[in-house]
Amino acid sequence: MTTVILHVSIVMCLMDIGQTGPIHKPIPDQSFILKGLAEDQQRRAALISDDGNGEYIKWKKLEGSFGVEFAWGSARPHIKRALRATQGEPWPLPQVYKTRETLFILNPAHFKINIDKTITNDVITDAINRYNETVFEKSIEITEENFRNAPKSEVNKEMQYDRDELGYINADYLRNLTIQVNSTCDVTSSDRSESTCDPYPSLNSTESYTLTVNSTGIVLRAEEEWGVVRGLETLSQLVTHYRGKFYIKETTVEDFPRFPTQSEVILSHQLEMCLYCQESMAMNKMNVLHWHITDDQSFPYKSEEFPDFSKKGAYNTNMVYTRDDINDVIEYARLRGIRVIPEFDVPGHTYSWGLSYPQLLTQCYYNNKPVPAFLGPLDPTNENVFKVLSKLFNEVTNVFKDRSVHLGGDEVNTDCW
């Protein structure tokens, strides 16, 4: 298989205990900064060395990066290395991304969310609860320690540290996050089937959003709940921590997906792997889980119409996806703005089908004689094949919530045809 990767108001109170009123500006405490700078200077002085024999490691500034030069005799190979790891930057790069070096402090100990009670959308509620933790637990630590520790390095001569330490000391606290959404599908799990709106993400869903961070607070605007999910992911990527505090830069983001379908194809026979993949997809703002659920090797989908498909075609009777398993995958995905499109590959990749219904597959021959158990793709001359497919896909389209089902069609071995 070829894997193709395309691709409401809320107030955050980030204040000290008992604090009310205007934004708190901390009293600068420069002692720990000055001590840190002194230690850095000592470290830099110790690292500058040359043994006098021309055998040394030297950091050199290269185009768009820094490189380490190893010099032994006439050989001077270069190894490029980025100046520093990505810190507090969104991924993938938004349509519009503007940032300034002005820093603000976020205080997780007093992170409070006020949500508009008229909005009862569970996708937004779940996303807020999720990212309330993610914003801080998965923030990147700002450091260049490994550059400073490079042996026999002159990197501290070459490298210009552009961090403004006083910018961290004098940073103001931000305590407001306002989420504004134009329209949502406000339904509960009990009335989704009767809803006039679509509670599941679809090809027509709108994921656009804008995110602004400035001295007045943080504002996230979105057309639909799916844009809120994407915007909160971006917010979590903008937060960094440094010397025990969490920071975010003044930032403006305007974003929407370049393609309506940004998918990841998986072939998995473990439920946990499906969920792990969805977490990584949400981090990368991908919106379609393309689930290659059956193949030659196994038929793990537990069909009610044809129970023998999985009973005889799965790796093991315990290695199957029940209706509850599939519902769990779909719900997990829905809360992350991800569609789940199943793929039942036909007419090829169907050997596992033949373990229960061999008459559905094409009999292969050798020297004009049929070879037992040598079976090819689904037999298009067998009318019963189309009856089985009709019943199976009628079931599948009722189990899965998306309007699309993938029929595969790839790598069909026609030798037996």
Q: From 295, 350, 304, 348, select the one nearest 326 (Cα to Cα).
A: 304
Mean pLDDT of 19-31: 49
User: 291 with 341: CB under 8 angstroms?
Assistant: yes
Q: Distance (Å, rounded) from C-alpha 379 to C-alpha 295?
A: 16
Whether residue 52 is predicted with pLDDT greater than 70 in this model: the reply is: no
Tokens of 80: 């490029």
pLDDT score recorded for residue 122: 92
* Beta strands 209-214; 172-173: pairing state: unpaired
| pLDDT higher than threshold 60 for residue 304 | yes
Domain count, the chain: 2
Pair (228, 195) in one structural domain: yes
185: exposed, middle or buried (C-beta count within 10 Å: 0-12, 13-18, 19+)? middle
What radius of gyration, in Å, describes the C-alpha atoms of the chain? 28
Q: Residues 228, 376: one domain?
A: no
| Together in a domain, 239 and 327 | no
Alpha carbon distance 11, 9 (integer Å): 7
Highest mean pLDDT among 20-29, 136-145, 323-332: 323-332
What sections of 159-224 are H helices per DSSP?
Answer: 165-169
pLDDT > 70 fraction of the chain, expressed in percent and rounded? 74
In a domain, 15, yes or no: no
301, 343: one domain:
yes
Buried b (16+ CB within 10 A) or exposed e, 196-208: eeebbbeeebbbb
283: Cβ contacts below 8 Å, ≥ 6 apart: 91, 233
Residues 251, 268 within the same domain: no
What range does the domain containing 119 cover?
56-71+86-151+158-255
Residues 369 and 282 in one domain: yes
Q: Decide if pLDDT at 258 tops 50.
A: yes
Residue 81 within a domain: no
Its pTM stands at: 0.77
Q: Is 41 inside any structural domain?
A: no
The residue among 194 and 175 whose pLDDT is bigger is: 175
Q: Tens of pLDDT along 62-86?
A: 555 555 555 544 455 555 555 556 7
Contact 213, 238 (CB under 8 A): yes
Question: Within a domain: residue 239?
Answer: yes
- The pLDDT, as a whole number, for residue 70 is 56
**Which SS3 state, helix, strand or coil, does residue 106 take?**
strand
Q: Does residue 215 surpass a pLDDT of 50?
A: yes
Length of the chain: 417
Do 110 and 145 belong together in one domain? yes
CA-to-CA distance for 341 and 393, rounded, in angstroms? 13
pLDDT of residue 238: 96
**pLDDT value at 152 more than 80:** no
* Res 121 pLDDT > 80: yes
The pLDDT confidence band at residue 11, using thresholds 50, 70 and 90, is very low
The type of residue at 126 is D
Q: What share of the chain is helix, strand, coil (3-state, %, to 5)?
A: 30, 25, 45
Q: What is the mean pLDDT of the chain?
A: 81
In a domain, 23, yes or no: no
When pLDDT is cut at 50, 70 and 90, the band that residue 168 belongs to is: confident
pLDDT value of residue 165: 77
- Band (pLDDT 50/70/90 cuts) for residue 23 is very low
Q: Residue 10: pLDDT above 50?
A: no
Q: Is 61 a residue whose pLDDT tops 90? A: no
Name 146's Cβ contacts closer than 8 Å, sequence gap at least 6. none
Assess contact for 341 and 402: CB atoms under 8 A. yes
Domain contains 16? no
Q: Do residues 291 and 36 lie in contact, with contact meaning Cβ atoms separated by under 8 Å? A: no
pLDDT band at 58 (very low <50, low <70, confident <90, very high): low
Q: How large a percentage of the chain has pLDDT more than 90?
A: 56
Contact 240, 141 (CB under 8 A): yes
Statement: residue 3 has pLDDT above 60: no
Tell how far CA 359 is from the center of its chain: 43
Residue 411 designated active-site: yes
Q: What is the pLDDT of residue 12?
A: 34
Q: How far apart are CA 32 and CA 35, in angstroms?
A: 5
pLDDT number for residue 312: 96
Q: Domain boundary residue among 255, 274, 305?
A: 255
Q: Among 229, 255, 281, give the residue marking a domain's end.
A: 255
- Dihedral angle, C-alpha 274, 280, 283, 288, nearest 10 °: -50
Q: Which pLDDT belongs to residue 334?
A: 97
- Tell me, what CATH number does 224's domain have? 3.30.379.10
Q: pLDDT band at residue 264, thresholds of 50, 70 and 90?
A: confident
pLDDT at 231 over 70: yes
Amino acid at the residue 288: V
Are the C-beta atoms of residues 400 and 342 closer than 8 Å to each other?
yes
**Is the residue at 417 inside a domain?**
no
Catalytic pick from 39, 133, 279, 411? 411
272 with 224, same domain: the answer is no
* Residue 321, in any domain of the structure: yes
Mean pLDDT of 240-251: 93
305 is written with which tokens? 């119409």
Domain finish residue from 213, 238, 255 = 255
